[in-house]
Structure 1
């Protein structure tokens, strides 16, 4: 067999499918969501990830979809500007560098288009994995059963594949003491390629215009220890955000109203995944599923894209020991990028640390 099942059609999954296809594998992607997920924050391509995009032939598309931010402001509870800069933003760092900031859903569309030769199944998920020395028998929620040479979990912080193959996520998750929500709203602030941030105590939010300026993306978060909540109960998650953020001033009432009306709401903990092994037999993990660095690192997308490239390259070169070589190449890169999230608690990592982490891997075997 020469078949691979990838769980997760976000960014890492399609990038992996593209490269595995180039190495002669037949790839199937399964995604729990009924369609490509809309919304999400602005994400960054830096260092080695830019090289991956260039080698995929999607760099020009990504550049054309850059957020093209002009700068950022910070305001107090009365809306008075306390800081303004056109040199950097919270989400993208310095604006005069080679990094590419792009909306997550725009990048998903680009990489999904590149992986169009892969079979993609939406609205389904894996319920069981049974493997032997020759392959993996996979049972799907829809009732189907198929056999693959390998199964790759590219399904995020709360990875279903990781749970099935390695056990409960509580063994691997390191909570960073914060929660974040992201959703779209009408651009009632008339922002033009601009970010505005407001914070009081342990809670705050940032708003920035989405391409075209018709809408804004809201990033509202708060500090708290681990909270038990249903990852599928969106209303319960919105209530948590309202509970912790509604006392904020400035535009909070309108932003909370927009949150309840948003149909692209996302909420999760700022957390990392640390595992002794990313692989077991013919199953391995990619991106957030195996080594989430958290949004605080600003490097989750880059880790997924680079990991996909390296994993596909090793499988394509020699299947024997491919997963071990993938881990050997990626672990130093992952470690440096995870450290970005904890280098400066409450603030961004230094520009030098980001540059070093983003380039700390060779893409050539």
Structure 2
């Protein structure tokens, strides 16, 4: 397994921040221009959010990152210090913000894990397992949210349908299907049938019509099998801790919007639960976004999912949500990245 460090460092460059910011701002302007009900007063409504709601949203974000840091510690079983685990989480968030969800930040996450002191094989295995755990959450939580809400987690999407040619439900089912396919394969390759998947992939690589890509496919097959060996014999407690932390991380991530919306309007318990379900569905839809960090896509979809709760505050609520949950990770990543690179390169030297 080879790691192209120059390419990884280029992808993590702080300069990439500007692309995400530019796309996000362009879509904000687009959404504002197409909304006939949007007035100058809509921007000033941002000032009406309660300070307590913003502080609670920031607290939820901090708890989320703390839980994710703990997840990295549990995953590595002592391989990472608390400081290293926190750096991994923050740089992972930065990588997510500067890469399109459609392609994912997996290569960058592997690079960060590797530079924090584990072997390249373990870094690959850890990154694969983290992605697998996140996808298990999506696949299990989405149907539950759909059933409990009686389908209300999928909001009316006439506006989205008219402009994109398909409704929100189309993109939700498309994304869910892609995640289910990917997760099934990865679970089989890493956890349940590693030898069988290895043999199938090596057989495919040996076929004549696969001659050009046979070496790459063989390498990927061996990497997946090596990753599976990292998790053989792990006790039940290891898996339960990781699953529990994964669910907690994502629930905290989704609850940020709840905190912000409650700063504008009063919500019932049922509305709080529905909003968490809506955020889950919106996140799945955003997984097929081609823009870095879903910049623009999130701003575009926000009114469809949460407009009925916020009313006149929808535009203001969407702006504050992104200002608190997206742009800070761009800034933090750009600030800590130079020192992190200096530290890990010094460690290697």
- With the shorter chain as reference, the TM-score category is under 0.3
Larger radius of gyration: 2
TM-score by length of 1: 0.24
Greater RCO between the two (CA within 8 Å, min separation 6)?
A: 2
Considering fraction of residues, name the structure with more strand: 1
TM-score by length of 2: 0.25
